[in-house]
């Protein structure tokens, strides 16, 4: 019994130590990215493909997700608001939810799934086939050559993808509420304008910057530390998505708390929907 | 005596590459223990030993791809472990490295692969780069038509030769070859051996060749170091079991060296069977 308990404590200790080591390693990885970004910007020929992969190719899927989530919000909120005879306030709740929360989180989730996993798999394959070692041996720093362009692409393009998700969500919500549910268009927009301010949009975009950075760092780190073989590459891709998604949600909570606190510092009376 | 990250020695006698007490551990597993080797300018050193004895780890340590757990790797008087990321990156331009699998970038064409170091470290224009790439490919016996192909379209021998052309494109001072003939037919193996010799004749290059191909050793090496797997050694036994010219391999009285040179399984089959039974 005592032996089993000791083993259990030892196993738990090992897990904690491994987690701490990984966390420390990711922090070091991030500081190396920052150092190389300050030292020298990547070349055009490495930046453009990363921007194209991350931004242009992600646009359709992010737009589609945004549209549907806007319509889903309208479907789910309509019955509750109708009971209170507040159908025209639907625009405020849909658009507020979209720009503050769902737009940034869904754009980031799509980016983690589409781009993060692909980055981890690509860099993992390069690690396994010694291509990353080959880069180093030729005097090209792999962080500078492979990671910085991907990091910049995620960091700079995720706000734009978020704007696209927000916009298509607003369009989707409007279409379902006004065209299909028959809510008055003028009051729908008037209420939206009244309750959704620039701060809500900016807070969503600020969050998205953190999400984009987290996705790139986690995905590239997983790829760089990929285990050998096809199984290792597969695990790197899966872990990149799972860890990124967890990090998106954790960051969302803490950034939400911080940004709300800042909001109430600036406007202490806040805003009410009623 | 060490000052900063440089080590003071007589410049004329100083080896270009040196390891002092090099020890490498992965987790709890020790792969290299207290390896001390000095490789003078212009020498071709062959590192031999059974699979898994740490040859590739030694080669990667020489260029700083693997950091030592203890000891030093000194290149041209500078300790690699004490260099910054940027310093190490700069110093690696003086090396050429032929990887076991050639490690060509599969998203780039052959020409782009060979041009990679030129684009990174020279200000050559497009035409000059093209000329240099085609000349390098011709040196390793590859025609212009190969330049446009992707690495996946090439045979093993062609990939190795493209890897060699890429490694040599900047005229490095030191060449590191990781199993250059593994997986190739005897004729192509000899082609690679000849290319290694020609490279040495053309440029005054210091080379380290990791191999278990005795034909390569006899053909290209000035000196041979044989490593032995630590799992088969006692804690106080040195990991280097042979260090001398290739011709002394045949007269060595060490049973482990003779067994490797002659390629005799001997008691190893019984040992492997016992290990398999134990697990």
Between the alpha carbon of residue A3 and those of residues A12, A14, A261, the distances in Å are 14, 16, 49
Q: What is the pLDDT of residue A271?
A: 57
Question: For residue B65, which residues of chain A lie inside 8 Å, CB to CB?
Answer: 133, 136-137
Answer yes or no: is pLDDT of A243 > 50.
yes
Phi and psi of B180, rounded to 5°? -65, -25
d(CA B41, CA A16): 48
A97: CB partners within 8 A, 6+ apart = A73
Answer yes or no: is pLDDT of B3 > 50.
no
Q: Name the residue facing A130 among B101, B121, B166 (closest C-beta).
A: B101
What secondary structure letter does DSSP report for A141? -
The residue extents of the domains of chain A are 40-266
Interchain pair B89, A35: CB under 8 A? no
Cβ atoms of A136 and B66 within 8 Å: the answer is no
- Dump pLDDT digits (tens) for B39-88: 999 999 999 998 889 999 999 999 999 999 999 999 998 999 888 877 88
Q: What is the pLDDT of residue B85?
A: 77
For B83, the token pair is 């260099």
pTM listed for this prediction: 0.84
Phi and psi of A221, rounded to 5°? -65, -45
- Regarding predicted confidence, which is higher, A52 or B249? A52
What mean pLDDT, rounded, does chain A reach? Answer: 92
* HEC profile of chain B: CEECCEECCCCCCCCCEEEEEEEEEECCEEEEEEEEEEECCCCEEEEECCCCCCHHHHHHHHCCCCCCCEEEEEECCEEHHHCCHHHHHHHHHHEEEECCCCCCCCCCCHHHHHHHHHHHHCCCCHHHHHHHHHHHHHHCCCCHHHHHCCHHHCCHHHHHHHHHHHHHCCCCCEEEEECCCCCCCHHHHHHHHHHHHHHHHHCCCEEEEECCCHHHHHHHCCEEEEECCHHHCCCCCCCEEEEECHHHHCCCCCHHHHHHHHCCCCCHHHHHHHHHHHC
Phi and psi of A68, rounded to 5°? -70, -35
Interchain pair A129, B103: CB under 8 A? yes
For chain A, percent of residues with pLDDT exceeding 90: 76
Sheet holding B6-7, edge to edge: B2-3, B6-7, B78-79, B70-75, B17-26, B29-39
- Dump pLDDT digits (tens) for A126-175: 999 999 999 999 988 899 999 999 999 999 999 999 999 999 999 999 99
Question: For residue A130, which residues of chain B lie inside 8 Å, CB to CB?
Answer: 99-101, 103
- Dump pLDDT digits (tens) for B117-132: 999 888 899 899 999 9
For A40, the token pair is 């020298």
Answer yes or no: is pLDDT of B14 > 80.
no
Span A9-34, average pLDDT: 92
**Within 13 Å, how many C-alpha atoms sit on residue A116's CB side?**
32
Answer yes or no: is pLDDT of A269 > 80.
no
- Dump pLDDT digits (tens) for A176-226: 999 999 999 999 999 888 888 899 999 999 999 999 999 999 999 999 999
Q: What is the pLDDT of residue A270?
A: 66
**Domains parsed from chain B with CATH numbers:** 2-278 (3.40.50.300)
Span B218-226, average pLDDT: 93
Answer yes or no: is pLDDT of B275 > 80.
no
With bands split at pLDDT 50, 70 and 90, how would you rate the model's confidence at B10? very low
Cβ atoms of B264 and B85 within 8 Å: the answer is no
The length of chain B, given as a count of residues: 279
Q: What is the pLDDT of residue B86?
A: 79
Q: What is the pLDDT of residue B199?
A: 86
What mean pLDDT, rounded, does chain B reach? Answer: 87
Span B13-25, average pLDDT: 89
Span A17-35, average pLDDT: 92
With bands split at pLDDT 50, 70 and 90, how would you rate the model's confidence at A105? very high
The packing angle between helices A103-111 and A59-83, to 10°, is 150
Specify the range with the lowest mean pLDDT, choosing from A25-34, B198-207, B263-272: B263-272
Answer yes or no: is pLDDT of B278 > 90.
no
Pick the closest to residue B239 from B32, B72, B24 (CA basis).
Answer: B32
With bands split at pLDDT 50, 70 and 90, how would you rate the model's confidence at B7? very low
Answer yes or no: is pLDDT of B1 > 50.
no
- Dump pLDDT digits (tens) for B116-171: 999 988 889 989 999 999 999 998 889 999 999 999 999 888 999 999 999 999 98
Taking phi over 0 as left and psi of -120 to 50 as alpha, with beta for the rest, A226 belongs to beta
- Dump pLDDT digits (tens) for B227-270: 998 888 888 889 999 999 999 988 888 888 888 888 877 777 77
Q: What is the pLDDT of residue A17?
A: 93
For chain B, the C-alpha Rg in angstroms (whole number) is: 20
d(CA B163, CA B180): 10
Interchain pair A130, B89: CB under 8 A? no
- Dump pLDDT digits (tens) for A63-83: 999 999 999 999 999 988 888
Q: What is the pLDDT of residue B210?
A: 95
d(CA B72, CA B20): 5
**How far is it between the farthest Cα atoms of chain B?**
62
Interface test with B, best of A138, A140, A233 (most B CBs within 10 A): A138
Interchain pair A131, B60: CB under 8 A? no
Cβ atoms of A212 and A155 within 8 Å: the answer is yes
- Dump pLDDT digits (tens) for B169-196: 998 999 999 999 888 888 888 888 998 9
Interface of B with A (CB under 8 A): 60, 63-65, 85-86, 89-93, 95-97, 99-101, 103-106, 116-117, 120-121, 166, 176
Q: What is the pLDDT of residue A272?
A: 52
d(CA B114, CA B162): 7
d(CA B150, CA A124): 20
């Amino acid at each position: 019994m005592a032996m089993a308990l000791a083993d259990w404590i030892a196993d738990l200790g090992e897990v904690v130590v491994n987690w701490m080591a990984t966390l420390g390693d990711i922090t070091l990885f991030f500081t190396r990215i920052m150092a190389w970004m300050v030292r020298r910007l990547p070349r055009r020929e490495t930046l453009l493909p990363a921007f194209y992969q991350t931004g242009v190719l992600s646009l359709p899927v992010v737009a589609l997700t945004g549209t549907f989530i806007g319509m889903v919000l309208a479907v789910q909120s309509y019955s509750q608001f109708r009971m209170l005879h507040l159908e025209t306030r639907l625009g405020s709740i849909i658009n507020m939810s979209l720009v503050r929360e769902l737009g940034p989180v869904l754009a980031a989730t799509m980016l983690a799934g589409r781009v993060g996993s692909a980055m981890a798999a690509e860099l993992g394959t390069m690690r396994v086939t010694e291509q990353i070692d080959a880069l180093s041996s030729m005097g090209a720093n792999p962080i500078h050559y492979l990671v910085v362009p991907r990091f910049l692409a995620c960091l700079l393009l995720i706000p734009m993808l978020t704007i696209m998700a927000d916009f298509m969500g607003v369009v989707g919500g409007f279409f379902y509420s006004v065209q299909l549910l028959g809510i008055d268009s003028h009051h729908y927009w008037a209420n939206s304008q009244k309750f959704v301010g620039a701060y809500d949009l900016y807070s969503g975009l600020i969050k998205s910057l953190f999400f984009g950075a987290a996705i790139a760092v986690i995905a590239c780190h997983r790829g760089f530390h990929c285990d050998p073989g096809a199984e290792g590459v597969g695990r790197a891709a899966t872990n990149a998505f799972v860890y990124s998604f967890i990090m998106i949600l954790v960051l969302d909570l803490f950034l939400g708390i911080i940004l709300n606190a800042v909001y109430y510092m600036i406007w202490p009376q806040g805003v009410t929907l009623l | 005596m060490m000052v900063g990250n440089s080590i003071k020695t007589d410049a004329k006698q100083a080896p270009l590459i040196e390891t002092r007490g090099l020890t490498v551990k992965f987790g709890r597993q020790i792969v290299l223990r207290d390896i001390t080797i000095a490789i003078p300018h212009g020498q071709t050193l062959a590192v031999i030993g059974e699979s898994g004895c740490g040859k590739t780890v030694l080669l990667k340590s020489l260029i700083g791809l693997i950091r030592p757990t203890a000891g030093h790797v000194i290149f041209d008087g500078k300790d690699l472990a004490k260099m910054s990321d940027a310093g190490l990156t700069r110093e690696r331009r003086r090396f050429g490295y032929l990887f076991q699998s050639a490690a060509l970038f599969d998203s780039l064409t052959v020409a782009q692969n060979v041009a990679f170091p030129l684009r990174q470290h020279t200000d050559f224009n497009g035409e000059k780069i093209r000329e240099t790439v085609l000349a390098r490919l011709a040196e390793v016996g590859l025609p212009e038509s190969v330049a446009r192909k992707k690495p996946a379209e090439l045979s093993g021998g062609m990939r190795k030769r493209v890897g060699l052309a890429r490694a040599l494109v900047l005229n490095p001072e030191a060449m590191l070859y990781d199993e250059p003939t593994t997986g190739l037919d005897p004729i192509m193996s000899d082609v690679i051996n000849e290319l290694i010799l020609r490279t040495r004749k053309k440029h005054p290059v210091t080379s380290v060749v990791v191999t278990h191909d005795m034909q390569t050793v006899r053909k290209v090496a000035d000196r041979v170091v044989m490593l032995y797997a630590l799992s088969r050694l006692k804690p106080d036994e040195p990991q280097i079991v042979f260090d001398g010219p290739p011709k002394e391999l045949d007269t060595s009285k060490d049973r482990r060296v003779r067994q490797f040179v002659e390629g005799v399984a001997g008691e190893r089959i019984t040992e492997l069977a016992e290990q398999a039974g134990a697990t």
